[in-house]
Structures are given as structure tokens and as C-alpha cells.
Structure 1
Amino acid sequence: MTDPIILAVPKGRILEEALPLLARVGIVPEPDFGDKNSRALRFRTNLPEIDLIRVRAFDVATFVAHGAAQLGIVGSDVLAEFDYSELYAPVDLGIGHCRISVAEPADMAAKDDPRGWSHVRIATKYPHITQRHFAARGVQAECVKLNGAMELAPKLGLAPRIVDLVSSGRTLKENGLAEVEVIAEVTSRLIVNRAAFKTRAAEVVPLVDGFRKAAEGAAA
């Protein structure tokens, strides 16, 4: 018997938006998947040939790139940060809308102009995206890698600016920060392991088509 296709999905906000898409594709997770107290990470679905794993957003790309999962749902921010050659991203799912932005204390932002920067010190979990963005403008970016609580960095003197995901902007505002530049708009994508796309095409291609139709239907 062939091993099930494994679809990696991210914990948190994107997953909530992805569940209706999964349903339109015909994939319904087992009841434990919705149990917030469950410690399980791998779940069966109504389709015996498909299992789900639920992992951190940054880890979705890693699981799929290394072939531990054949497909995944992940933000374009993660794809841009890691730039795995083993990944193919055939479908923009049109969910998880947000942006990667530069922010700084509001009082600094009121009199600052990013066009005049020559060197910046930035706290971020996106060092590669940040350095590429500023290098294209001839700006040297010194990145301090953090995995969370980015908004604390300016307050505690770790770095005067941050690069982070922004959705409503409420978290920035509540921490006295303001956006000064948008680096990229972000949406979630269906990703596929390139080797699996070839070796398990009979299973993978219909799934890709199903997600494409589901995303188009949602956008209509």
C-alpha cells in the first residue's frame, strides 16, 4: 500500500482561513484536529490517502522542501525568506492577506524618511528578506534575529526598527510603533515538493487542480 500524501498546514490564523478551502477540495480532518487540547501533530482525514500535519508556519516549507511532506500551505513571506529550490508554488490561495513592513517608534516615524537611510539596525525574523530589500537600495542592513516579541526591540534598545508581518496594524499601534515602509504584500500559497510532483503525479496533480479551483471559487 502506498504511503498517504502528507499535507503540512500552519498553526494559527492561516489555518482558520485554510479549513474552508480544504473542505471545498473535499478534505475533512478527523475530529481531534479541532480539539485545542490535543497534542497530536499528525491527523487522518476523510480520505485515507491524505494525512495532515500541523506545524509552525516557518516549518511547513522545511517539511515540504525535504520531502517529509508532499504538499503544504504557507505564506509567501516564508517562501521568500527561505527560497528553497525544492519547492514549487503553483497556487496563490488568496488567504492570509498581510504585509511585511518596516516599523519604528511613532515619534521617530513622524520626522523620519526611509529614502535617506544609509545604514539600519533592524530586529526581525526575516533577515534574508530584509537584507535583500535594503541591499537593492544600497542600504546596509544589520539584522538582529528574533523569533517573536519584535515590538519590544525598540523599547528595550535592541534595535531602533523592526521588520515584521502586519495585518491590521493594531499590535504596532499598541506598542507605540508606526509603519514607515511596506516591503511586500503577503498571501498564502499551496506548495509542492518538486520530486513528489514528478514521482507521485497521479496523486499530487489532482490535488493541485482541486486547490486551484477552490481558490478561484472563493475569489469569485
Structure 2
Amino acid sequence: MVADRDILTVALPKGTLYHNSVKLLGLAGLDTEFVQDPGRQLLLYSVKDAVRFIICRPTDIPTYVEYGAADLGLVGKDTIVEQQKDVYELLDLKFGGCRFMVAVPEGAEQDLHKWNQARVATKFPRIAEAFFRQQGMQMEIIKLHGNIELAPIVGLAEMIVDLVSTGRTLRENKLVPVAEVLNSTTRLIANRVSHRLKNERINPLVEKIRQVVEEGKLEA
């Protein structure tokens, strides 16, 4: 029987990143067949690999990893930057790409620096604040949990910082992007203690994942 200290625990993100995360780990040699369609199960165990999979919300993954409930996790760079958890970022996995943009109403001033001291609505206050600080701008950051595009329409804020993929939602709400804040992709993160104590298990897996990413096998 494998001792708990020898089990490798990997946190997988629910939602849009899930299937590529599972595919990547499978290509790296782990037995992932049984996690392809987990149903309602949130904790799955591979006897063959002595690997435990935790399936959780992407925003919770840095917490699981920071506190050692998971040794490794796959999560977006945006979540890492926003939460600022004490984790070790190992690899850029090159999938799940998205962009954070500053957007303002159509017809409004598009020179970003002329919006100094304006109000900004966002679900990602730390990312937004860091960006505007880098620009030498002092802004009032208003945190919302959804429907960010509504804020300029009702006068809550002059602009927004939000994730943009196709730009359709912005167009439908008569908003235009004026600056890119952050380009985010999925990253492999590790608990700092696990990375040291379980290096004989983690390092070979990381190298296999690196090879899969560099050879573009995930995209095939």
C-alpha cells in the first residue's frame, strides 16, 4: 500500500480548462482515462500511478496548492496574479489563453492616460490596480462579481477591466477596448514544500509535461 506521503495530489480545474488539463496529463504519461468524465465525483485516485486528482473551481486551486492539500495544480495566470498566493509557478502550459482589456464606451476618449482618477469596474481588482499603477495612474477600483459591462451604462464606472475573447460582449454593450492589461494562459503550479520533498516524483512529470507542450502535442 502506498503511504500518503508518496501519493501525488493534482488539482484539476472545473470548466473550460478541464478537458485540456486531463489530456495534457494523459499525454505526459499519467492514467487519466477514469477522469475523462468524472460525473459528480470530486476526488479520484489512480492506483497505477499513485496519483490523487482533486476536481475544483479554478479560483480555489491556488489555495489548495498553497496549503498543501494539492501538490500540483493547473490554473490560469490571471488567477495566480489576482490571488497572489504563495505557490511555485513551474510551467506555462500554452492553452486556455485569454486577454484582460481596458474598455470604455463607444465614442468616448480612447487615450488611456486621459482617464486618470476615473472609476474602473472589474472582477479582478488586484490585476487592474497593478496595471494602472504601472501606467502611473491613480484610479478608483470598484469590485463587481458579474455583469461588468453594465457599470459604464448605468454610470457606476467610466471604464471596465475584464476578460475578452471574441469581443462580442463588448460590442453588444457598446464598449471598445483601449488597452491590454494581461495575456493569460494556463500554468502548472506547485506547493513549495511538496516541490522540495516530492521532487523525485514531481520533476520527471514536469519534464514530460514540458516536452508535450514544446512539441505541440496537445494541439494535435
Query: Into which bin does the TM-score normalised by the smaller protein fall?
Result: 0.7 to 0.9
Tell me, yes or no, if the aligned pair for 1:120 and 1:139 is still in contact at 8 Å: no
Does residue 186 of structure 2 align to residue 188 of structure 1? yes
- Structure 1 distance, partners of 2:155, 2:29, is 50
Tell me, yes or no, if the aligned pair for 2:11 and 2:61 is still in contact at 8 Å: yes
1:141-156 equivalences under 5 Å are 141-156=139-154
The residue matched to 2:215 in structure 1 has which SS?
helix
> 1:2 deviation in Å?
2.1
Which residue identity lines up with residue 98 of structure 1 in the other structure? C
Relative to the length of structure 2, the TM-score reads 0.88
> 1:41 deviation in Å?
1.6
Does residue 204 of structure 2 align to residue 206 of structure 1? yes
> 1:46 deviation in Å?
6.7
Tell me, yes or no, if the aligned pair for 1:30 and 1:43 is still in contact at 8 Å: no
The residue matched to 2:82 in structure 1 has which SS?
helix
- Structure 1 distance, partners of 2:140, 2:40, is 38
Q: 2:8 aligns with which of 5, 8, 13?
A: 5
Alignment-derived partner of residue 96 in structure 1 = 96
Does residue 22 of structure 2 align to residue 19 of structure 1? yes
1:206/1:147 CA distance change after superposition, 3 Å: farther
Does residue 156 of structure 2 align to residue 158 of structure 1? yes
Structure 1: segments with no counterpart, 5+ residues:
none
- Structure 2 distance, partners of 1:81, 1:11, is 18
Tell me, yes or no, if the aligned pair for 1:123 and 1:145 is still in contact at 8 Å: yes
Alignment-derived partner of residue 61 in structure 1 = 62
Which residue identity lines up with residue 2 of structure 1 in the other structure? A
1:46/1:150 CA distance change after superposition, 3 Å: farther
Figure out how many residues of one structure are paired with residues of the other and give that number.
215
| Coordinate RMSD, CA, aligned | 2.1
Which residue identity lines up with residue 215 of structure 1 in the other structure? V
- Structure 2 distance, partners of 1:44, 1:157, is 50
1:198/1:32 CA distance change after superposition, 3 Å: closer
Which residue identity lines up with residue 5 of structure 1 in the other structure? L
- Structure 2 distance, partners of 1:82, 1:216, is 28
- Structure 1 distance, partners of 2:182, 2:99, is 6
1:70-109 equivalences under 5 Å are 70-84=71-85, 86-108=86-108
Which residue identity lines up with residue 167 of structure 2 in the other structure? G
1:87/1:140 CA distance change after superposition, 3 Å: same
1:17/1:144 CA distance change after superposition, 3 Å: same
Which residue identity lines up with residue 153 of structure 1 in the other structure? A
Runs of at least 4 residues off by over 3 Å: 28-33, 45-48
> 1:63 deviation in Å?
0.9
1:47/1:105 CA distance change after superposition, 3 Å: farther
Relative to the length of structure 1, the TM-score reads 0.88
- Please, which moves more after superposition, 144-153 or 75-84? 144-153
Structure 2: segments with no counterpart, 5+ residues:
none
The residue matched to 1:182 in structure 2 has which SS?
strand
> 1:47 deviation in Å?
3.7
Alignment-derived partner of residue 29 in structure 1 = 32
